[in-house]
Amino acid sequence: MDDIDSNVRLSAFRFLEEQTRLAPEDGALPREVLQRGFTYEGQRVPLMGPQGIFKPRLLHDVPLSITTVPIIEGETRPYDDAFGPEGLLRYRYRGTNPAHHENVGLRLAMQRQVPLIYFHGVVPGLYVAEWPVYVVSDDPAQLTFTVSVEERRFVSLGSMPPPSEETEIRRRYVTRLFRQRLHQQEFRERVVRAYQHHCAICSLRRNELLEAAHIVADADPLGVPSVPNGLSLCKLHHAAFDAHLIGIRPDYHVEVRRDVLEETDGPMLIHGLQGFHGAHLLVPRSPSSQPSRLLLEERFARFRRAG
Helices (H), the chain: 3-22, 31-36, 101-112, 165-194, 235-242, 258-262, 267-272, 293-306
Indicate the helix (H) or strand (E) that contains 203: none
Q: What's the pLDDT at 3?
A: 85
Determine the Cα–Cα distance for residues 81 and 52; give it in Å rounded to an integer: 11
> What is the pLDDT at residue 280?
97
Q: Are strands 230-234 and 210-214 parallel, antiparallel or unpaired?
A: antiparallel
The answer to whether 174 and 13 have CB atoms below 8 angstroms apart is no
Q: Could you say which residues of the chain have pLDDT below 50?
A: 78
Q: Is the Cβ–Cβ distance between 247 and 257 less than 8 Å? A: yes
What mean pLDDT is reported for the chain?
Answer: 90
Q: What are phi and psi for residue 147, nearest 5 degrees? A: -125, 135
- In this prediction, residue 82 carries a pLDDT of 79
CA distance 87 to 170: 12
Neighbouring residues of 252: CB distance < 8 A, sequence distance ≥ 6: 280, 281, 283, 291, 296
Domain parsing of the chain, residue ranges: 3-192, 198-306
- pLDDT value at residue 10: 94
**Which tens digit of pLDDT belongs to each residue from 43-68?**
999 999 998 999 999 999 999 999 99
Using alpha carbons only, how large is the chain's radius of gyration in Å?
Answer: 23
* First vs last C-alpha separation in the chain: 64
Cis amide prior to 267 (ω within 30 degrees): no
Return d(Cα 215, Cα 192) in angstroms, integer: 14
Identify the pLDDT of residue 159.
53
What pLDDT, on a 0 to 100 scale, did the predictor assign at position 80?
Answer: 54
Please name the residues in contact with 180: beta carbons below 8 A apart, sequence gap of 6 or more. Answer: none
Q: Which residues have CB under 8 Å from 18's CB, separation 6+?
A: none
What pLDDT, on a 0 to 100 scale, did the predictor assign at position 259?
A: 93
Residue 81 neighbours by CB under 8 Å, 6+ apart:
68, 89, 90, 91, 92
